[in-house]
Structure 1
């Protein structure tokens, strides 16, 4: 049962075929069995979770109204505040920190009846594509312990992929739910910017690119939790659109969805097995009734999103992190220490980067005049080895930052993007594809993901743990 999805667990609990206590115990046992190999769970709240499960069981016996996730365990990335539970942000700087209130996303899961069982590992301050830090250490990929699950929601992805948690909450500023999902074979959604409040998430800089998002093993779980998480909270000024606002047209009689797909150019070098997986997904959607065709997106070819992301982030994050760590710099892990050593971005370069971001948005606005969705890679390769200093992709040497190349444009533009596994590399690792839609059209990517899931040959594969 540790590989049952949250929707199934909720149904079994509601119908009294399983008790919340049984479900929580199943997952706590799984954590005890496999977490020592993975180091994905960093603060397990077993006693608290079992007490909440007993209360959930009492509510069922009494016939109380039940939320959609009643009695279902969940996990949360340790960048999200959890009332009375350590939230240390992967850093010695915040060792022992215990917040008084839940992040909005955590509170909404609890209101839906879900039970927190653990916080999950992350890179320090959520700023790296590998999950490692000096406080809680390195997380391993359940498919191959010598590989990374990615970052920054790498602990969350590894926990869900390994059956320690059915569902969880991550966050994404450039790749951080979609990349780890791709590396571990699960599903993750970065909704339109502002759809899901980031209240209670740290860091908040730069807020216009940070997203909180659901991570799970099935598309239906992602759809369910998106409906729970989305909507204004009265605190996050970016979170203003009601869930009822959805720009997705959906499949209609006589109007099949139009999907453009792209591997290159626009994302730099892409490995052959990733390219083949994207093309296979395009063929699958065509076979399921969509109009699918290869496309070019001129704005992606003209604007390197990774370069402009770097210029924007240094100018904003460097002084922010410097204030937080003043006098304690020797305690920092190498990534944040490196950010503090980076040269400042000139104001003229910052303005140019902002203007390039606007042109990228315009380019996709033009693209979506014709198409309903965009299909592309998530990452250029499957999960790489821990702390690799470079990658060789299609004969070209690139730095590890290249892993962001196909995801960061959709943080800069704020469009919804979903990662779903659709293939396997030659060495047995998951390969995912990325589905993107116009702003506020989450229903489109969720529908297309469900189509791919329905024909996927890899949906029920699990790591060899």
Structure 2
């Protein structure tokens, strides 16, 4: 529409600004807006379209960035009260690439403290709510991104994922999120060396997610783990005819809610109708072992990093942050680093064996259908009548951070009984990004989603 002059980048941005002013007060998805900077950039983009040259992939498109993706000269608090006056000294690599591609960063999105929770609230920014039903959370840690996309505050957003922080908000908000394989999208040192982590895109469609992923990917001098450019992602062909897809409902013993299971099976049936061979499999995993493996890893990397960053200001932290650090510390005390590595490689081998002969794996993103917007879950979570020790155990994303060379695309699967969306994960073989986008585009084609919008319901 920009190219045909049916729509101007200025008109689009003005519509996004009006939408933000109308509805963000009810969901609290943004930490700040950058409209004064964004409008001149939109005018410049309109001039470039009028001239018909220098047209870059994101030219004129508004992009909301997660607050942790620092913008030089802007605050970089990661939701911590003690760091609310700290500023980024450089652009994060994904910010740098979005701007180079012509994207206009018009807003920054909320997270829980240090992006360490699957709900999005903090003492600094308050509670972020799900636009589909404001009683519930949009998930975390990229909850502000998911809420902003679902509510129409942005067409594209950045996210990050160390245990599900992209895929869970996508699942809970009816949007699309991509956990790229480790190294595909560059991060910032020193945690860029953490092989669980990864930055990535979120959007409302599979094609838009691929567009942003292509911009974000590729080698970066600041991240020695980053990979050379791979083939550009495209969703022009969404055919799954003849593909073999493994369906795994419980990933071992996750207590999956009936509505989540029904929606996941609905996606599998739709893919079958589209010509894929879908075969149900089992995996020998347990919630307890996955949680222990994950927190052992956190106990040697993320946990100590968080303790260093928050030393002297512990009393200002949210209870969920203190709980996370304590759990990570305890896991490191109980398990050696090599114990964690053994557990990780065992899980990876089990996944490789299960996926042999299949093109992709399909499973739910979360065993529980919803989280309360302001929930702390310090005593665990009730999952389908089973009390789990830790609320992280209610989500099914962490195994694929442990097996983090696998690309994973989260796409909508339907509506939960409580009135918010559910989602599935499409898991590919290591570094086979193209396949998960092909399957994701097929799901989108057979189960159209883009026309569904939240009504911004009031609190129940």
Pairwise same-fold verdict (TM > 0.5): yes
**Do 1:169 and 1:215's aligned partners in 2 also have CA atoms closer than 8 Å?**
yes
Number of the residue aligned with 1:455: 446
> In 2 relative to 1, CA 404–231 (structure 1 residues): closer, same or farther, beyond 3 Å?
farther
Q: In the aligned structure 2, how far is the partner of 1:341 from the partner of 1:403?
A: 16
Q: In the aligned structure 1, how far is the partner of 2:372 from the partner of 2:56?
A: 41
Number of the residue aligned with 2:59: 70
Which deviates more from structure 2 when the two are superposed, residues 40-49 or residues 420-429? Answer: 420-429
Number of the residue aligned with 1:366: 353
Q: Quote how far apart the aligned CAs of 1:205 are.
A: 7.1
Number of the residue aligned with 2:184: 195
For residues 404-444 of structure 1, the C-alpha deviation after alignment (integer angstroms, 9 at most, x for no partner) is 54100000111111111121112321011111010111111
Number of the residue aligned with 1:58: 47
Unpaired stretches in structure 2, ≥5 consecutive residues: none
Which deviates more from structure 2 when the two are superposed, residues 346-355 or residues 74-83? Answer: 346-355
Q: 1:258 aligns with which of 222, 244, 264?
A: 244
Number of the residue aligned with 1:317: 302
Q: Quote how far apart the aligned CAs of 1:403 are.
A: 5.0
Q: 2:321 aligns with which of 329, 336, 356?
A: 336
For residues 367-397 of structure 1, the C-alpha deviation after alignment (integer angstroms, 9 at most, x for no partner) is 3331110000100122222306344333212
Number of the residue aligned with 1:281: 267
Q: Quote how far apart the aligned CAs of 1:105 are.
A: 0.9
Number of the residue aligned with 1:96: 85
Unpaired stretches in structure 1, ≥5 consecutive residues: 1-11
Task: Classify the secondary structure of the residue corresponding to 1:292.
Answer: strand
The answer to whether the aligner puts 1:297 opposite 2:286 as a matched pair is no
Q: Quote how far apart the aligned CAs of 1:129 are.
A: 0.9
RMSD in angstroms over aligned alpha carbons? 2.3
Q: In the aligned structure 2, how far is the partner of 1:282 from the partner of 1:304?
A: 27
Task: Classify the secondary structure of the residue corresponding to 1:407.
Answer: coil
**Do 1:121 and 1:139's aligned partners in 2 also have CA atoms closer than 8 Å?**
yes
Q: In the aligned structure 2, how far is the partner of 1:176 from the partner of 1:302?
A: 18
Number of the residue aligned with 1:428: 419
**Do 1:206 and 1:313's aligned partners in 2 also have CA atoms closer than 8 Å?**
no
Q: In the aligned structure 1, how far is the partner of 2:198 from the partner of 2:428?
A: 16
Count of aligned residue pairs for this structure pair: 448
Number of the residue aligned with 2:384: 394
Task: Classify the secondary structure of the residue corresponding to 1:155.
Answer: helix
Number of the residue aligned with 1:40: 29
Task: Classify the secondary structure of the residue corresponding to 1:13.
Answer: coil
The answer to whether the aligner puts 1:440 opposite 2:427 as a matched pair is no
For residues 277-325 of structure 1, the C-alpha deviation after alignment (integer angstroms, 9 at most, x for no partner) is 1111111111111111101223x35983222101221232333222222
The answer to whether the aligner puts 1:210 opposite 2:197 as a matched pair is yes
Number of the residue aligned with 2:75: 86
**Do 1:206 and 1:317's aligned partners in 2 also have CA atoms closer than 8 Å?**
no
Task: Classify the secondary structure of the residue corresponding to 1:164.
Answer: coil
Q: Quote how far apart the aligned CAs of 1:252 are.
A: 9.2
Q: Quote how far apart the aligned CAs of 1:122 are.
A: 0.2
Number of the residue aligned with 1:411: 401
Q: Quote how far apart the aligned CAs of 1:124 are.
A: 0.6
The answer to whether the aligner puts 1:268 opposite 2:254 as a matched pair is yes
Q: In the aligned structure 1, how far is the partner of 2:382 from the partner of 2:315?
A: 33
Task: Classify the secondary structure of the residue corresponding to 1:260.
Answer: strand
Which deviates more from structure 2 when the two are superposed, residues 414-423 or residues 52-61? Answer: 52-61
Task: Classify the secondary structure of the residue corresponding to 1:420.
Answer: strand
Number of the residue aligned with 1:4: none
Q: In the aligned structure 2, how far is the partner of 1:173 from the partner of 1:266?
A: 21
Q: Quote how far apart the aligned CAs of 1:234 are.
A: 2.1
The answer to whether the aligner puts 1:173 opposite 2:157 as a matched pair is no
> In 2 relative to 1, CA 428–322 (structure 1 residues): closer, same or farther, beyond 3 Å?
closer
| Structure 1 length-normalised TM | 0.91
| Structure 2 length-normalised TM | 0.92
Q: In the aligned structure 2, how far is the partner of 1:301 from the partner of 1:310?
A: 14
